[in-house]
Structures are given as C-alpha cells and as structure tokens.
A = this chain, B = another copy of it.
Amino acid sequence: MDHALSTQMIFDRGERLFAASRVLSFDGTTIRAHSFAETAARARRLAGALAALGHPSGEPVATYCWNTPAHLEAYLAVPAMGAVLHTLNVRLPADQIRYIMNHAADRALIVDGVLLPAVAPILTECPALGHVIVVGQAPAAIEGFAGKVHAYEDLIANAAPMQEWPELIETDAAAICYTSGTTGLPKGVVYSHRSVYLHSLASMAADTFAISNRDRILMVPPMFHANAWGMPYSGWLAGSDLILPGPHLQSTHLARLIAAERPTLMAAVPTILNDLLQAHAQTPLDLSSFRTIVSGGSAVSAALIDRVKAAWGVNVVQGWGMTETSPMCVLSFPPRETGEEGETPWRAKAGRPVPGMQVRIVDDEDRPLPEDGAAMGHLQLRGPWVTGGYLKERPEDSRLTADGWLRTGDVGRIDPLGFVEVTDRAKDLIKSGGEWISSADLENAIAALPGVAEAAVFAIPDPRWEERPLAVVVAEANLELVPAALRNCLRERFARFMIPEYWAFADFIPRTSVGKYDKKTLREQFDTGGMAVIVETGFTSGD
C-alpha cells in the first residue's frame, strides 16, 4: 500500500506545523499579514463553500487574479477538496480567455474585483459557468450572465469549513494551466496531485530552490502562470513566509516590499531584474536580504548576473523550464570545483537537471546526439513532474516520444558536465547557408555590449543564404549606437557568418503575456515595413 502523494499533504503540513508563518499582501499602500493558521482556516471555508454550491469533484474552478491572499486560498482549497484549480492568465486577450474557459468547461470562477471588467463581457459566452465569485467589490449581477454572482468574503464567512478532505488518487488532476500558445491554440497543461507534491518536495532540495522554513519568499512570478514556479505550494509546504505583491510589480513597489519585509528568495524574469537595476542606478536599493534570486523565462545573460552580483552581492540562479515541467527542470548552480571568480559563465547557462529530471538532445529523427557542448539538437526531457499530456488532447497532438520524452520545441547543447544551454526555440533558429545560427547567443552577446539595454534577434529571409539574423537593439538612454562598432565587438565570439548585417534600433522590444520577446510581433513589423533596417557589412576596424 502506497501513501498517495497529494496537495492535501501540502495543505496539512503548512497548517499543522507552521501556524505562525505569514502571508503578506500588498495593496499598493499597505502591507497586511495573515498567519498560515488564518489562511488555512479561510481556505477550508472556501472548500466548504464550493462544496455547498454543489461544485463537482474533478471539475475546474478558474481563477482570474493577481498574486493575492484569495488566490493563495484557492491554490490550497480547490485541489485539496478534489476539484481542479484552473489559473487564467490575466494578460491574455478576452477572446482567448473565452476559448480557454470553454475548452476547460470551467464551472466556477474566482476573480479579482479590479479585473472583473476585463472578463465580464465574455462570461455570458461560457455556458458551463455557474458561479462567479468576486474578491473585493462585487456587483449584484453581471449583465447577461445567467449564473450566480457571489462576494468572496460573504461566501466564506457563511460557509462551514471542510474538515476532512476527500480521498484522492494521486494521478487525479490538481491544476490546469494553459500555455500561452505561441503556435496554434492554447493547450491546457494538467498537473496531477502527485506531480505538484513531487515538484514541491524537489523545490526544497538544497541544490534547487532550497526553500525552507526560514525563507521569506517574494512571489513575483504571476500565480496565473505555471503555478508561479510552484512556490505557493513549496513555500507553504516548507512554512516560508509568502509575500504577495498583487499587481504591484513596478520596481518602486518591489523596492518598498523588499525594504519592509527583507525577503530571502525571489524568482523573477530578467525584465524585473533589469527594472530593479535601473531603479538602483537612480536611488540605491538594498537587496542584500536575498540569499538567492532565481531567474528564467527567457535567457539570463552573464552581464545581468554580474550586474546583480555587483549591485547587491546576490547570486542569480538561472533556470530553464516550461509550463509543462511545473516548471522547474534545470538550474544553473556552478559545479563545485569552480571558484567564485569562475562562476558567471556557469550561471549564464540554463543549468543541470534537478534530481529526477533528465534532458537530452536529439536530431530530427529523435536519435540522441553527443553531449559534448558542441553538438546542437532538439531538447527533450522527462521526469516525474513533466505533464503527461494536455487537457482533452487528441492522441495525434501528443508532444511525447514513444519512450516518454517531451519534445520541448527548444534547441540547445549539453556539455560533458550535463549543463544545458538553450540556444533557441526551434522556430527561432536561424538557418543560414545550411548552418544554424543561435539567436539567443547573439542576443546575449549584443545585450552585454556597452551602451546596449536589450537586444532581440530573429531570422529574416535572405536571397542568398535563405535566412539571415536581424538584430533589434534598444540603446541605453541618450546613446547612439553604430552597427559597425557592434559588429566589431562580436568578432571575437562569433564566426563571421553568424554576425548580423541587418540592424534596427527601437525604444523597446515587445513582449508576450509571459514576458518573453514577442518575435511574432517583431516579424510582423519587419514584414509590413514598420521597421527601419540598416544594412552594415563592415567593421569599425581591421579586415
């Protein structure tokens, strides 16, 4: 008889052992604290309320919320009571939300009052939806919506707490998160109870996030995307304090939260770190309370890692993962043989697989390639918290190989020590004269050049070479950059054919709803002639 792995174990441990740990929430003005004991009690009432509304076991409860206490309560209550937490990305356009809610057949929706106007119009087109639960100011009704509208606080105030959890099978769905759909329709990644528990336990490992009872976690990644790196669950399991910034992710707000609460751990996309560094350049910030900052979502450059270290003495640990991997998969701890000086090149790689995960590179026929740091191939991965598939997936759409490896759509290298380097999304690779050019390598190198704030590189058609790289560069304020000089700086690191001759300058680079460079939009700008492209084949010196 094996004890089922479940989110109930997570709920119960945080509630029982860490009653005094704190959930801190920020409304832009005030920081409020709730104990784990209060939070658990409220979550048990939420579970009781949903059961009283007749919510069926195994069916999804959607959330459309920022990182707030109510969202955390939903994280805890919904899977523990046997329902399925479905986090909706508040940055998606309404028609995608409608598609996703109908695809998942959401029965209930918990929505931040401030976000209700964005989603209310499409709720009338979600026939399965019976209940909308509004956190904060709730209207009596939503125009055209036939279901019931509830105020969150009233609902839980009047509910009896659910004291006994139902028995679950560990492979039951606990949560769903739709991928942002850079190609095709959004797909619902299903996390089982087993997978959430395993990911949480693995997140506590000393060589991963090392989440512990002594941590105070600043929860920057949105809880509507890949479970916020799993930290609502791992932090609760460990009894860490959880600091929830709501929608207040601007660097002034984060700086204030950091000063007040002295967090020890944060996960953040590079953009957030860049924002904080820029704010720091204006008025010095003290981020020395962090034992580690985990970053990922897009490639974290050596330059950024060095700047964070120089500014605050804090190590950035880079990670690479996907919604499909819960998302922790590889993390960039330098090998132990490395001295402090030699660390950055290791930290600038995606990292090594955490315990349980495996990564390989294969050719177009799924044949493994050498892991020599040179061969580039399609990255595939497998492990105990990789999703088994997508919600209502057609077998022919499966991204798994016959032997259970997930095709990531990313391309990269693996070195002899097992460090993974993700060079590109397969579709972002540039095939020039039969050779692959890595846009990520170019982006990192260009972004590290003096005067460059950020850089995106993508393929444009070329009559001779089939494809060539185009670099879009954002210069630091009041600086003018010269392509020939930039090209010159790249000569040491890149073969000549890899260096872009097509350059464009922009005020900012558009990003997707999850903070990645939006190359689709860049390509459209280029295709429609909305981008001023400079062609430069020379260098400032020599040759």
Asked if residues A238 and B355 are in contact (CB atoms below 8 Å), the reply is yes
Binary interface profile of A, 399-416, with partner B (CB < 8 Å = 1, else 0)? Answer: 010001000000000000
A388 with B2, Cβ < 8 A, contacts A17-B417, A212-B207, A237-B355 known: yes
Asked if residues A3 and B205 are in contact (CB atoms below 8 Å), the reply is no
Asked if residues A213 and B333 are in contact (CB atoms below 8 Å), the reply is yes
- A121 part of interface (Cβ distance < 8 Å): no
- A192 part of interface (Cβ distance < 8 Å): yes
Separation in Å of the A328 CB from the closest CB of chain B?
12
Interface centre among A335, A384, A388, A389 (most CB of B within 10 A): A384
Name the interface residues of A50-72: CB closer than 8 Å to any CB of B. Answer: none
- A201 part of interface (Cβ distance < 8 Å): yes
Main secondary structure of the interface of A (DSSP, over half): loop
Binary interface profile of A, 169-195, with partner B (CB < 8 Å = 1, else 0)? Answer: 001000000000000000000001011
Asked if residues B16 and A383 are in contact (CB atoms below 8 Å), the reply is no
A336 with B214, Cβ < 8 A, contacts A206-B206, A352-B17, A382-B3 known: yes
A12 with B358, Cβ < 8 A, contacts A384-B2, A404-B1, A418-B17 known: yes
Interface size on A, residues (CB 8 A): 50
Residues of B close to A127: CB separation below 8 A = none
- A20 part of interface (Cβ distance < 8 Å): yes
Name the interface residues of A1-48: CB closer than 8 Å to any CB of B. Answer: 1-3, 5, 9, 12-13, 16-17, 20
CB-nearest residue of chain B to A358: B12
Give CA–CA (A20, B171) in the complex, Å. Answer: 37
CB-nearest residue of chain B to A206: B212
A5 with B384, Cβ < 8 A, contacts A16-B418, A17-B352, A355-B201 known: yes
Binding site for B on A (CB under 8 A): 1-3, 5, 9, 12-13, 16-17, 20, 171, 192, 194-195, 197-198, 200-202, 204-208, 210-214, 237-238, 333, 335-337, 352-353, 355-356, 358, 382-384, 386, 388-389, 400, 404, 417-418
